[in-house]
Amino acid sequence: MASSRRMDRFTVATAVLGILVLLNVLGLRVFGRADLTRNHEFSLSKASISAVHTLEDPVVATAYFTADMPPQYAMVNRYVRDLLDEYHNQSGGNFNYVFVDPVGKETDEDKQKKHDVQHDIFGRSVREATSVEKELSDLGIPPVQVQVAEDDQWQVKRAYMGIALRYNDKVEVIPVVKDTQGLEYEITTAMRKLTGKARHTVGVVYGRGAPELKASMKQFETLIGQMHNVENAELASGNPIPPNADALVVIGGTEPFTEEEQRIFDGYVMAGKSVAFLLSPLSVSLENLQYKEANHGLFELLRTYGAQIEPGLTLDVASASINVTTQMENRRMMQQVRYPFLMMPQALNSDHPVTRGLSQMVFPFMSPVKTTFPVAPEVKAEVLASSSPKSWVQVPPYNLDPMQRWTLDGVTGMGVHDLVVSLSGKIPSHFGAESKGNGRVIVAGGSGFLSDPYMAAGVPPFVLNMLDWMMFDDELLSVRTRGLSSDPIDPELSDTKRNFARYSNILGLPALFMAYGVVRWRRREHRRLSVSL
C-alpha cells in the first residue's frame, strides 16, 4: 500500500513537471499580456499605434542611459525599455531602438581626459570634454547631477538620461527623462514631427493698444512653436490675420477689434475651425500695478456663440502670493502676501480633455464668464475652470493695492464664478453666415496666465491641451492626459470616514489574506482531528 502511494505521488509530480515544461516551451512561441490598469497606462494609445503604423521609413530610437544608477532612475530605465519595446512590437519592424551607456562608449583617450583635471583662475576644476560628451552635447542631451552611494559615502555623479529619435536625416531629441510622466506623448509627438504629420499653423492675434503683450508672452510662443507653425498677427503693427491658420488664439488689447476683423473670426468658426478668445478686462503693469482698462469689443459676437464675459474682476480667497516691499523703520523688507487677483481655481473640469488631470494653475486678473441661455441646440457648452465658493467680483474702478484690508464688509455676491468655458458644435454665426462644419471655441475672461511670470507648472499642459483640442486631435490629447487623473478621498467626508477609507486600503488586503490563511488552517485541523483509524 505504501509503495503504491509513493508511486501515485511520483506520477503526479512527474505530470505536473511535464506540464510546466510544456507551458514554458509554448510560452517561447506564444506571447500574451493583459494591461489591467484603469486607463491602460502600460499599453500604447491609439494615437501612438497609428503613428508607428504609418511610418514609411524606419525610426531608430537611441536611449542614452548611464548604467548602475540609483533605484529610482533604474526604474525609469526599465519603463523606457518596456515602452520602446511596445513601439517596436506595434511597428512591423519600422521602429527599432538601442540602449547606449555613454561611459561604455568612452575610448582610452576619453578616459585619460577625465583624469586630466586642471583648475581655472577661480580655482574651479575643469577638464576637456570627451568625445562622447561632445556628441551628446551636439545632440542637445545634457548631463544631469545625481547622488549615488559609492565606497560607503554619497557622491555626485554626472549621468545621462536622454533619447534621440532618427528618421532619414532628421533627429528629434528628448533631452532628459527623469520620470515616466508624459513620456509616451513626447515620443509620439517627436515621431509625428519627424514625419511632418504633427505641424499645424496657429495664428496668434494680438489686439491693438497693448504693445507690451507680445513681449511678455515669449515663453507662450516658444511653447506652441515646438509643435506647430506660429503666424503672428500684430494688428497695431498692421500685420493681418493669417488666412492659412488652422486655428486662432485671439488675445485682446485695450482697443476694440473692428467689424471686419470680427467677420474674419466668425468665418473661421463657420468653416469648422477653432478660435480661442483670451480677453483680459484690463492691461496691468506688474512693476507698479498700474492698469489700463481694455475694450476688445467682442461681447456681442461671443454672446451669439453662447458665452458672455461679464464686467469686473474676479477675486478669490484661493489665490497665489505676491512679493511686496514694505518699509519698517529704517529698513525695507520683502514679504509675501496673498493676492486675491491671482486666482488658483479649485475646480478644473476633470471630464473635459483640456483640463483632465491638470493641477492648479494661476489665473491673474480674470473676468467672470457665463454661458448664455438658450445656447443653440447643436452647441455643447462646458465650463473648464471655476473659482472657489469664496470668491467675488470687484467692479471698476479697481483697487489693486496688495496691502489693502480684505474685509467681508466690502464683499458682495460671494460664490463660484466661471472663468473659462468651451463651446463646440454647429455654432451660430453672428453675421448670418452659413456654417460649414462643427467649430470649437474657448472663451477665457483673461490672458494674463500666458505671460512669462505665470507660465509655471500648470500652464504649459493647459495650453498644449487647448491647442490639441482646437486641432481636433483628440487621440493625441488623450495620450498626454493618461495617468494624470487621480481618485482622492472626498474632502467633504468626516475625519472618521476618511481615516477608515485610508486604513482600509492600506490594511484591508493583508487582513483578508491573513483571515483566509486562518480559515484554511482551521479547516485542515478539523479534518485531521476527525480522521478515525
pTM: 0.74
- Residue 511: all three cell numbers together: 487582513
Q: What is the pLDDT of residue 130?
A: 83
8 A C-beta contact, residue 41 and residue 480: no
- Specify whether the backbone of 530 is left (phi greater than 0), alpha (psi in -120 to 50) or beta: alpha
Give whole-number Cα distances, 349 to 371, 464, 488, in Å. 15, 16, 15
Q: What is the pLDDT of residue 449?
A: 92
| Angle at 468 (CA atoms; ends 467, 471), nearest 5 degrees | 85
Q: What is the pLDDT of residue 42?
A: 66
8 A C-beta contact, residue 51 and residue 86: no
8 A C-beta contact, residue 393 and residue 368: yes
Q: What is the pLDDT of residue 127?
A: 74
Residue 458 neighbours by CB under 8 Å, 6+ apart: 358, 359, 360, 361, 362
72 half-sphere exposure, CB direction, 13 A CA radius: 6
Q: What is the pLDDT of residue 470?
A: 93
Closest to 365 measured CA to CA, from 393, 333, 329: 393
State the Cα–Cα distance between residues 216 and 411, nearest whole angstrom: 32
| Angle at 280 (CA atoms; ends 276, 286), nearest 5 degrees | 125
Average pLDDT of adjacent 10-residue blocks, the chain of 533 residues: 59 74 64 56 78 88 89 87 91 91 84 75 75 88 80 74 92 87 85 78 85 78 86 83 91 90 94 94 80 89 94 91 75 83 86 84 92 81 93 89 81 88 94 91 94 82 91 77 56 68 73 80 77 55
Q: What is the pLDDT of residue 363?
A: 93
CATH 3.40.50 residue ranges in the chain? 200-481
Amino acid at the residue 84: L
Amino acid at the residue 286: L
CATH number of 200-481: 3.40.50
**CA quadruple 14, 16, 17, 18: dihedral, nearest 10:** 80
Amino acid at the residue 290: Q
**Architecture label for domain 46-192:** 3-Layer(aba) Sandwich (3.40)
Amino acid at the residue 30: V
CATH 3.40.30.10 residue ranges in the chain? 46-192
